[in-house]
A and B are shown apart, each in its own frame.
Chain A
Amino acid sequence: MRHLMTPLDLSVEELDKLMDTAEDIKEQPDKYAHACDGRVLATLFYEPSTRTRLSFEAAMLHLGGKTLGFADAGSSSAAKGESVADTIRVASCFADIAAMRHFKEGAPMVAAQFAQIPVINAGDGGHQHPTQTLTDLMTMRSVRGSLSDMKIGMCGDLKFGRTVHSLIRALLRYNNVSFVFISPDELRLPDYMIEELDSHEGVEYTEVTKLEDALPELDVLYMTRVQKERFFNEEDYVRLKDFYILDSRKMEHAREDMIVLHPLPRVNEIAVEIDNDPRAKYFDQVKNGMYIRMALILMLLEIQVK
């Protein structure tokens, strides 16, 4: 029995197969509509994340399965002090697979340790969010045909955004991927990530502070939120925030075939005027997120669809 805790739990080959399945589901959804008949997914969400929970539930429903679970800790036995270990033991009696979201880092790993069913990490306190990373990878591959040979710009909070770090680690496994890290000094990539990049021979990366400077050379722009509370004072935030807002004027610097991704929800870092730009792919990500979760459920339940 397998679980998914981090994106790196899957080899490059497994990831390729998973994305192939997801693409096939996208093209022929009918073929998969009853693949999970009679199966149940438990969504154990200790903190609310409507988008992720709906995506998991939609994935299971589109496979013909059913779902049960809770949407935040307040409405669950966790509020009464039940441990993660006990909760997953109970869920193992009612469901065939579980997706767990928790505000504490490593909680899904604890669940996996005590589960009789496969457990998917649906986000653990900003530590890992593997299905988001898989979604990002699938969208890039879907549009570009491959995950090799590209220059990706990552913009915003690169210091605390550990899902960005996961994405970097996942991309380091492909050939000829170079990085441009775009952030204010205060939110630069941490040293241990720089060391990791340096330890990969031949990987090129640069760090810049202005989005415009990076845009002309990028194949992919990955935007993240710059949260106000990450700054020491209001002044710095006000001074810097506009550098990291993508609008149509900045998009003029970008190539015709560049794509823009964002894990959503956005606040104001991408102006709505860009939503209709064909290069904006962040709403495609939402759909891809469901397909990749469908493929993942099939993989972990070891269901083959002919």
Chain B
Amino acid sequence: MGNSDMNTTQHEKYKLNVGKIDEGFVIDHIRPGRGLTLYHDMGLNKLDCSVAIIQNAFSRKMGKKDIIKVETSIDNFNLDIISLLDHNATVDVIKNGEIIDKPELPLPKEVKNIIKCKNPRCISSIEQGLDQIFVLTDAETATYRCKYCETEYGNN
């Protein structure tokens, strides 16, 4: 932390008090408002390493964006969930303070038991032992819908 702080410009220093990370990953360009959903749905709330969510950060490209920084290895995470929620988000993998990888986000046709349908009227809310299945219904917009009630993921 100490060293990298020395390198930041004065401007960056006063922006937000979230330092660079040495080891971990950054999910960037998240559609504003979806950062917190991603945080919960990826299970980042259950980690004991440091996790930062920045909401409504300034973005030249998007106006506003959410960013999530996580100080742990990306290997334990299923990246499907990021593209399910926001296919325009990007991932930077960080090692020794440097970006070492920008993994391509997959766009699977169907996902099982990664996300839960949030529609309270959906059968999946009461049927025991039922797989939570989401189906890619529009590849262009990366829209996923619950197989059962057709509710769009991330749109509620």
Chains A and B are bound partners? yes
- Contact of B148 with A109 in the complex, beta carbons under 8 Å: yes
A115 to B123, CA, bound (A): 16
Instruction: Report A's interface with B, CB cutoff 8 A.
Output: 83-85, 102, 104-107, 109-110, 124-125, 127
Decide: A102 and B123 in contact? CB cutoff 8 A.
yes
In this assembly, does B149 line the interface, its C-beta being within 8 Å of a C-beta of chain A? Answer: yes
Cross-interface CB contact of A106 among B128, B129, B147, cutoff 8 Å: B147
Closest chain B CB from A92 CB (angstroms): 17
Residues from chain B with Cβ under 8 Å of A102 in the complex = 123
Question: Is B121 an interface residue, CB under 8 A from the partner?
Answer: yes
Count of chain B residues with a beta carbon within 8 Å of a chain A beta carbon: 17
| Alpha-carbon separation in the docked complex, A83 to B125 (Å) | 12
The answer for the CA separation of A84 and B151 in the assembled complex, in Å, is 20
Within 8 A of A (CB), among B99-156: 119, 121-130, 146-151
Bound-state CA distance A107–B121 (Å) is 10
Q: Which A residues lie within 8 Å of B121 (CB)?
A: 104-105, 125, 127
Contact of A109 among B125, B147, B151 (CB under 8 A): B147
Per-position binary interface string of chain B over residues 29-41, scored 1 when its CB falls under 8 Å from any chain A CB and 0 otherwise: 0000000000000
What's the Cα separation between A102 and B146 when bound, in Å? 17
A225 CA to B75 CA in the complex, in Å? 54
CA distance A103 to B88 in the complex (A): 36
Q: Which of B127, B148, B150 contacts A85 (CB 8 A)?
A: B127
Main secondary structure on B side of the interface with A: loop
Could you tell me the distance between the alpha carbons of A102 and B119 in the complex, rounded to whole angstroms?
A: 15
A-B contact count (CB 8 A): 47
Interface residues of B (CB under 8 A from A): 119, 121-130, 146-151
Asked whether A104 lies within 8 Å of B126 as measured between CB atoms, the reply is yes
Contacting residues, chain A, for B126 (C-beta < 8 A): 104
Residues of B near A84 (CB, < 8 A) are 123, 127
Contacts of A125 in B (CB 8 A): 121
Q: Which residues does chain A contribute within 8 Å of B149, judged by CB atoms?
A: 105-106, 127
A105 to B121, CA, bound (A): 6
User: How many angstroms between the C-alpha atoms of A102 and B130 in the bound complex?
Assistant: 16
Complex CA gap A109/B149 in Å reads: 9
User: What are 24 inter-chain pairs, A to B, with CB distance below 8 A?
Assistant: A84-B127, A85-B127, A85-B129, A104-B121, A104-B122, A104-B123, A104-B127, A105-B121, A105-B122, A105-B123, A105-B148, A105-B149, A106-B123, A106-B147, A106-B148, A106-B150, A107-B123, A107-B148, A109-B123, A109-B147, A110-B123, A110-B127, A124-B123, A125-B121
> What B residues does A85 contact at CB under 8 A?
127, 129-130
Task: State whether A83 touches B147 (Cβ < 8 A).
Answer: no
Select from chain B the residue with minimum beta-carbon distance to A192: B152
Which A residues are in CB contact (< 8 Å) with B147?
106, 109
